Amino acid sequence: MDTGENIDIIRFDELYPLRKVTLINLEKRGIAWLLANEAIRKYNPCMAVSAYFYHKNIQYIKPKAIGRDESGALIGAEFDDFVIVYDDAIKWYDFIATGDTSKYGKDFEDVAKRVIGMMNEDGVCRTLLTAITKYEAGTIDLTEEGIRALYTIAALMIETIRARNIRIKLEEEEIKKKPKVTTVVAPTEDMPELAAVANMIGFIAQKYNLSVDEVIKRVRELFRK
């Protein structure tokens, strides 16, 4: 568990480095151009929220403590007024308010839960971009502190998604390296019981006026129960 000065969260514009042409356009046209650009919003939402972070010089809010596993994925994070915890029931993370979150805005908790619920980077960025766009338009109740908190949460989730994806990839590579175990199936002639089973299936098919395939299908359904 990291606390105090040991807590390190990667800056959003380092998670998604900005191209020089984007910075030039931001300087010339401002943030309104960025948020109104349909191509950027549709195809590169992570770049859009990274540019907003850079342009507005957003600073993360300070967590009290953060726990990460050996891969770097989040175990849990504690803030002054809320926590992010891993929920075994849903096999993902959840948001729990532990104090008064009104300083972040009335819509903060709802947006934070949606950001945390996303299991891929694109989903995190799109949810954050929607909130930013509404914030700039004045159609959502978020404060400046709320935007800072959402960026902090989003950065933690993106770090976690990347760490988990790397871990899954390494685990899959390890499985591929393991020698395959070949299962030897006995020849049909060495399994005399099959003849009795075949005779029984044929008898049932004749008795109930069914096809052999239909009898076998029903047998399979019984095994699934």
Domain assignment of residue 180, yes or no: no
Q: Is the pTM of this model over 0.85?
A: no
Is there a contact between 81 and 97 (Cβ–Cβ < 8 Å)?
yes
Give me the pLDDT at residue 192, please.
65
Domain assignment of residue 39, yes or no: yes
Give me the pLDDT at residue 119, please.
96
CA angle 8, 87, 144 (to 5 degrees): 45
Within this chain, do residues 213 and 124 fall inside the same structural domain, yes or no?
no
Give me the pLDDT at residue 79, please.
96
Average pLDDT score over the chain? 88
| 55-79 pLDDT, tens digit each | 999 999 999 999 999 999 999 999 9
Domain assignment of residue 196, yes or no: yes
Within this chain, do residues 114 and 204 fall inside the same structural domain, yes or no?
no
Which range of residues forms the domain containing residue 13? Answer: 2-175
109-113, 119-123, 220-224: least confident range: 220-224
Instruction: For the sheet with 74-78, list strands across it.
Output: 2-3, 65-68, 74-78, 82-87, 92-97
Is there a contact between 93 and 87 (Cβ–Cβ < 8 Å)?
yes
| 183-214 pLDDT, tens digit each | 666 666 666 666 667 777 777 777 777 787 88
Tokens linked to 202: 């044929």
